[in-house]
């Protein structure tokens, strides 16, 4: 029989302010998650490794806060990486993008990975880790920024 813990949000916030520890990387590494696990997190489905850890022991409030901290710290680092690798469009590029369809998070991530990794299916790409996604995104950003800078230099010389 599994018991449930009911905790008020105010208590969680106070505890998070006092407890800075995170669950060990051997149990959960945010960037070690696969794309599939990351996308399932958006539906509040925690990774299997964390579920197994929780099912094998009596979870304490302290454990819960450490898990929440690990997810929040990983999410903030991931969000910052995404922000840092956005290449802002100039006026001509904005005009060229007019009327394009907006992609979902999943579509954008898998499309970017498909351009970088030689996998055949989107299912295979979902097995790529966030470490690999971050690396491919940084490399793609650098390549695109280099090309954009080069074109700007060539325009100046003309």
Which pLDDT tens digit goes with each residue over 71-92? 889 999 999 999 999 998 888 8
The band of 41, judged by pLDDT with boundaries at 50, 70 and 90, is confident
The band of 1, judged by pLDDT with boundaries at 50, 70 and 90, is very low
Report angle CA 16, 18, 20 to the nearest 5 degrees.
65
Of 88, 69, 78, which is closest to residue 109 (Cα–Cα)?
A: 78
Residue 20 vs residues 49, 64, 70, 75: alpha-carbon distances, Å: 21, 12, 9, 15
Rounded Cα gap, residues 45 and 37, in angstroms: 8
Length of the chain: 158
Q: Is the separation of the CB atoms in 69 and 17 below 8 Å? A: no
- At 65 the pLDDT is 82
Residue 5 has pLDDT above 80, yes or no: no
- At 145 the pLDDT is 94
pTM, entire model = 0.79
The band of 22, judged by pLDDT with boundaries at 50, 70 and 90, is confident
Domain ranges in the chain are: 9-84, 91-157
């Amino acid at each position: 029989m599994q018991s449930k813990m009911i905790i008020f949000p105010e208590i969680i916030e106070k505890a998070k302010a006092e407890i800075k520890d995170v669950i060990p990387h051997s149990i959960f590494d945010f960037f070690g998650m696969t794309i599939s696990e990351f996308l399932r997190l958006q539906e509040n489905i925690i990774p299997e490794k964390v579920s197994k850890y929780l099912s094998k022991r009596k979870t304490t409030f302290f454990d819960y806060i450490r898990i929440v901290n690990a997810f929040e710290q990983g999410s903030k680092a991931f969000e910052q990486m995404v922000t840092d690798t956005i290449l802002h469009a100039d006026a001509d590029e904005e005009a060229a993008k007019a009327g394009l369809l907006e992609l979902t998070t999943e579509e954008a991530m898998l499309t970017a990975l498909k351009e970088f990794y030689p996998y055949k299916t989107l299912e295979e790409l979902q097995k790529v880790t966030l470490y690999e996604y971050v690396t491919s995104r940084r490399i793609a950003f650098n390549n695109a920024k280099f090309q954009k800078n080069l074109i700007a230099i060539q325009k100046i010389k003309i």
